[in-house]
Structure 1
Amino acid sequence: MRGTGACLVAATLIASPSIGAVQAWQSDRGDGTFANPPLNADYPDPDIIRVGDVFYFITSTFADVPGLTILTSRDLVNWRFASHVVDTLSGRPEYDLQAGGSYRRGIFAPSLRHHDGMFYVAVTPVGEPTRIYRARDVRGPWTMNRLSEAAFDPGLFFDNDGSAYIATASSSDGTETLLSLDPTLRRITARRVIHYTKGAEGSKLVRRGKYYYLFNAIPRRLGLTVSRATALAGPWETRNQIDDTSGGHQGAIVDLADGSDYGFVMIDAGAIGRTTNISPIHWRDGWPIWGTPEAPNRVPATARKPIQGMPVETPAASDDFAQTRLGLQWQWNHNPLPDRWSLTARPGFLRMNAAPGSSIWTARNTLLQKGQAPWSRATVRLDASHVARGDQCGAGVFGKYSGGIALGRDAQGHLTLSMRIIEDVASPAKTTIQRIVRESPAVTVRSTQLTLRTEMDFGDDTGAVAYSTDGTTFTPLGPRFPLAFDWQTGTFQGQQFSLFCYNPAGRGGYLDIDSVTLDGRGKR
């Protein structure tokens, strides 16, 4: 699926002041305005709340670990990472990349709320009951309990009297069900059908004054509906709101400290995945309307920042691996094998020991970071001295299309570089298979101190890889390759940058990674 985003015209890019790299996208234009999206990367199924003068944004992470990423901002435009809710995924062998793995499944469409000094997250992993996570501090630690049933895309809600509910609807039906929770949020005490909207899912429930407002995504037409009622039991009125041609199809509203509201909504944006836009909200006859009174019913491409005076800030991207913990920008493709990676074996380097796997798709311990539109490049400095025969270690992309430059050894023990890109496709039997779409012959290099580059161009949805033995002059390896987002195949995410090291024999050598620099300069 690819939304046209007709109203979101190209905006001027402002370089981030961050040291060591220029971000691919900077929403804050430095003159009191911003350009949509605030984060030009795959942050789908958004839920945004305000606590005091701080905003928090949670997003789907599927099988990636750590999971359930939370970002924070003081103006809805400039964001930084706050935490991940889930350190490892538990409950199913697929999370350990067994039984076919959990790509396109795992955890998605979380709901974030804050009540009585506690942060809560409601989420329903595929094939499991709904989970409720809670923490006093958004940085954790988080504890979790399971409910007795699975609520699809659960919309957690606290009423003015403190009563807790979950609103849930699945697009396969569209029936909106309200689950009442006990005060501890550990038990469902009642359930009742309150509404029906054909094709509805992604429920978000908020209250403004005398009205309850229910927001639902309608995936079949990539649209958003808003319903309202003076009682949770209804009756509810429903109106169509925006869609992907005017700004997005899944989201809700968040209040500002001055009592006004802003909308947030995701849009299908091509190979980058699903990005989240924010929009002014104005009210007409008790209904929230996206956009301004002068330009209603569409998300503006640019607008005045909701809150003025906050400094430019972007989520972490580049990394020199000087810390003893991975930065919050990184996630593994599934639960990692803890003995196959280290930040302390060689201080200042990320050591990736070869993990078992027949391909990048089936190998544990592939480390990922989101690609950034409109164009981004990851430059990886590494030491390949200890790459062993049979190893496939290197850097590239991951998602619908996966692979990149892999380092190995030939029969004589010489270091080689080869390029291979595989596409994840569905067979007629609806089983997942991979096919090679691009590859190159192996080349031999003498140096073990190498620099690899991966670029992703989301203007034409293509990527390319190159290598250097001196860190200055780069040689392309193999042809350009396609990039894509596809909810039926791949990872149900936009294309990501990847670091990998695996060996089909299960054991091999290791790769030491000195640094990763992500930037948006030097577009071809």
Structure 2
Amino acid sequence: MMKKLIILAGLLVALQANAQNYAKQWCADNGDGTYTNPIINSDFPDPDIIRVGDTYYYVSTTMFYFPGATILKSHDLVNWEYCANPLQKIAESEPFNLQNGYNQYSKGQWAPSLKYYQGKFYLHFIAFNHEKFADGGDFLLTATDPEGEWKVQKLNGFYYDSGLLLDEATGRRFVVAGINEISVTELDENFNAIGSSKQIINKPNSGLEGSHMYHIGDYYYIYATYGGGYDHSQTIFRSKNPFGPYEEHDGLLFEKQDIHQGGLVQTQTGEWWTILFKDAGTIGRIPYLEPVVWKDGWPILGNNGIDVSKGGKSYKKPNVGKEYPKTYLPTNDGFNTDKLGMQWEWNHNPDNSAWSLTERPGFLRLYTSGIVKEGTDTKLNEFLQARNTLTQRMFGYDKEGASTSTDTYGTICLDVSHMKEGDVAGLCVFQDPHAYVAVKMIDGKKRVVYYRAPWWEPKADWQGVVDDKEHYREFSTSTASHNDKIYLRAVANFKTNKLKFYISWDNQKWYDLGKDIETEMRYTLKIFTGNRFAIFNYATQQNGGYVDVDWFSTEETVDENIFNDLTAIEQVESKTKRIVSRQFYNVSGVKLPRSQHGLNIVKTRYEDGTEKTYSFVKQ
């Protein structure tokens, strides 16, 4: 089965900027000088925010997904782009490698702090140990270019929910950290503690955490959240001495709106803003941008502590000195380059020997990696133990206060020609519980299957009692009569929390797998991230099988032409073996010069004598 290519020169140029042509995109910018929260309708929790020159940087928690510690960049605080996933891994351990039944679900990289000081970026976070492995710790990442290489250093100490202060005014370095009991520690230039930590705030059983530290004017501020449930709230403390005593603001900054925990930033025009996250249910924890004004040395957030977007209203965009165009975080991918886009993260450490973007240019090849089985950790089924599951965040498309209820789509085109007995490959919506539609090799036949996992601990969750039973169904249909190509689709709705699955053989007619297997999405602390799309391929009997993922899309109607970029694929091919010649023909077989190619056939010949033929029609 050959991958169709866009060969029309004019169309190719247009496709290179096709991101803004997608129907399913999120943008908080209303195009009239205002924006409506959330600024990103997706799971980017625990934000910290800094400004360097005219660029703003935002870091978030990614936990057990790698590469992680995602950093976004913006010029106006409303329109964001990916900047980097600087954390390649935390440790090479059995839990982080999903080996021998162990895992790091809900652990990994937590609550980062991002700072810029004397020409260098600093990113600090903690990672919890697995109870049987010393694979966590306190980590510092540094870089001079945030889009370049980051160095990783493991520090002494363990600063929970840390906030760094690298004080330009005094040259001193501090870290604030803790839960309920908040402490400040002074650090030397190597980030080792100078003396002992000093407890500055004691709020027993309050859930006070997520602290960030600032030196603004005459005061040191501790900007923190009362966490621990869906009634989160934001508060602030101040002192003229970094070690206290601290006084708390009289009245919460945001009270019981589920909007909390984040950072403060000043624009180049002198305005102050804060980015906090909101607990938004199954989609995860999503960021809100709120204006800040200062009164008597205290910050006032939003509209006197209220987010105006709650009623569907908008805020005026930050004044950053000029206007910037709308941007959109990418979701769709044709896998046409030799690097994964920054929207993608692996579930735990990947096995880099078991995936490729170059073995079949224009496709993501996923090999099975290990034989999965029931896990050592409680109630781990096959999927949760599968390595090289590739994920990306799911997006909602309804702004705060909107009465609409818009579906979220995820679709893959999958070539299953080379699966082996017992292999399972497909598309999952991943949280606890997770559910997927897949192809499974059963007795030599590739069958469509549906699976919905049981909850790990259903009675421990605060969202009510739900069906916690395991559901599995095999369908009689197989891929044999369809050239081993199948389209798999998941459709989610974040207002109803309902999830449905579909299959297609031609990307035109879609088959609903049935009302009786409609799935309800949840958000639980066993995973502790928003629901994600996940592409997977795992073995239950033997290794050696693989599948090729042609493309992934979040569009409701997918025009496959948008995923095929001849120039990009040529660049990938040239890195693996040298191209000797490339010839273009029309559908009648008449040879054409490249400058005239349109709906044609492309024949490529390589130095080793092999040839490939691409056409517009998938065969």
Same fold per superposition (TM over 0.5): yes
Give SS of 1:377's match: strand
Give SS of 1:442's match: strand
Find 1:183's aligned residue among 179, 189, 196. 189
Question: Residue 243 of structure 1: CA displacement?
Answer: 4.1
TM-score (structure 2 length as normaliser): 0.76
Residue equivalent to 2:171: 162
Residue equivalent to 2:392: 369
Please tell me whether the aligned partners of residues 271 and 495 of structure 1 are also in contact (alpha carbons under 8 angstroms): yes
Aligned CA distance change for structure 1 residues 257 and 19 (closer, same or farther; 3 Å)? closer
Which structure's residues are more often strand, by fraction? Answer: 1
Q: What do residues 388-432 of structure 1 show as CA deviations (whole Å, max 9, x unaligned)?
A: 221100112111122311112232x332111111133228899xx
Q: Can you give the 5+ residue segments of structure 1 that lack an aligned partner in the other structure?
A: 1-15
Residue equivalent to 1:217: 225
Determine the C-alpha separation between the residues in 1 that align with 2:70 and 2:76. 19
Residue equivalent to 1:272: 283
Find 1:440's aligned residue among 466, 470, 473. 473
Residue 246 (structure 2) pairs with residue 236 (structure 1): yes
Residue equivalent to 2:601: none
Q: What do residues 106-149 of structure 1 show as CA deviations (whole Å, max 9, x unaligned)?
A: 11100000000000011011133311111101023111222221
Aligned CA distance change for structure 1 residues 429 and 71 (closer, same or farther; 3 Å)? closer
Residue equivalent to 2:260: 249
What pairs up with 1:128-167 in 2 under 5 angstroms? 128-159=136-167, 160-167=169-176
Q: What do residues 232-273 of structure 1 show as CA deviations (whole Å, max 9, x unaligned)?
A: 121211124344643612123111111210011111101001
Residue equivalent to 1:339: 353
What pairs up with 1:389-400 in 2 under 5 angstroms? 389-400=421-432
Aligned CA distance change for structure 1 residues 520 and 237 (closer, same or farther; 3 Å)? farther
Question: Residue 485 of structure 1: CA displacement?
Answer: 0.9
Question: Residue 92 of structure 1: CA displacement?
Answer: 3.9
Residue equivalent to 1:385: 417
Determine the C-alpha separation between the residues in 1 that align with 2:268 and 2:557. 37
Aligned CA distance change for structure 1 residues 111 and 429 (closer, same or farther; 3 Å)? closer
TM-score (structure 1 length as normaliser): 0.90
Which structure's residues are more often helix, by fraction? Answer: 2
Which one-letter code corresponds to 1:144 in the other structure?
A: V
Determine the C-alpha separation between the residues in 1 that align with 2:451 and 2:66. 25
Which one-letter code corresponds to 1:482 in the other structure?
A: E
Which one-letter code corresponds to 1:318 in the other structure?
A: N
Which one-letter code corresponds to 2:336 in the other structure?
A: A
Determine the C-alpha separation between the residues in 1 that align with 2:177 and 2:95. 25
RMSD (Å) for aligned C-alpha atoms: 2.2
Aligned CA distance change for structure 1 residues 506 and 261 (closer, same or farther; 3 Å)? farther
Residues matched between the structures, number: 495
Which one-letter code corresponds to 2:151 in the other structure?
A: T
Q: Can you give the 5+ residue segments of structure 2 that lack an aligned partner in the other structure?
A: 1-16, 130-135, 374-381, 398-406, 462-466, 559-619
Q: What do residues 497-517 of structure 1 show as CA deviations (whole Å, max 9, x unaligned)?
A: 010000122414111011111
Compare 113-122 and 299-308 and name the one that shifted more.
299-308
Q: What do residues 304-340 of structure 1 show as CA deviations (whole Å, max 9, x unaligned)?
A: 1114521110112111101111110001111011121
Which one-letter code corresponds to 2:184 in the other structure?
A: L
Which one-letter code corresponds to 2:242 in the other structure?
A: L
What pairs up with 1:88-487 in 2 under 5 angstroms? 88-90=89-91, 92-98=93-99, 100-127=102-129, 128-159=136-167, 160-170=169-179, 174-197=180-203, 198-220=206-228, 221-239=231-249, 240-243=251-254, 245-246=256-257, 248-291=259-302, 295-301=303-309, 302-307=314-319, 309-356=323-370, 357-358=372-373, 359-374=382-397, 375-411=407-443, 413-426=444-457, 436-445=469-478, 446-447=481-482, 448-478=484-514, 479-487=517-525
Please tell me whether the aligned partners of residues 162 and 177 of structure 2 are also in contact (alpha carbons under 8 angstroms): yes
Question: Residue 187 of structure 1: CA displacement?
Answer: 5.0
Question: Residue 18 of structure 1: CA displacement?
Answer: 2.1
Please tell me whether the aligned partners of residues 26 and 329 of structure 2 are also in contact (alpha carbons under 8 angstroms): no
Q: Percent identity?
A: 31
Give SS of 1:241's match: coil
Compare 385-394 and 492-501 and name the one that shifted more.
385-394
Give SS of 1:339's match: helix
Determine the C-alpha separation between the residues in 2 that align with 1:146 and 1:121. 12
Question: Residue 520 of structure 1: CA displacement?
Answer: 6.5
Please tell me whether the aligned partners of residues 387 and 407 of structure 1 are also in contact (alpha carbons under 8 angstroms): no
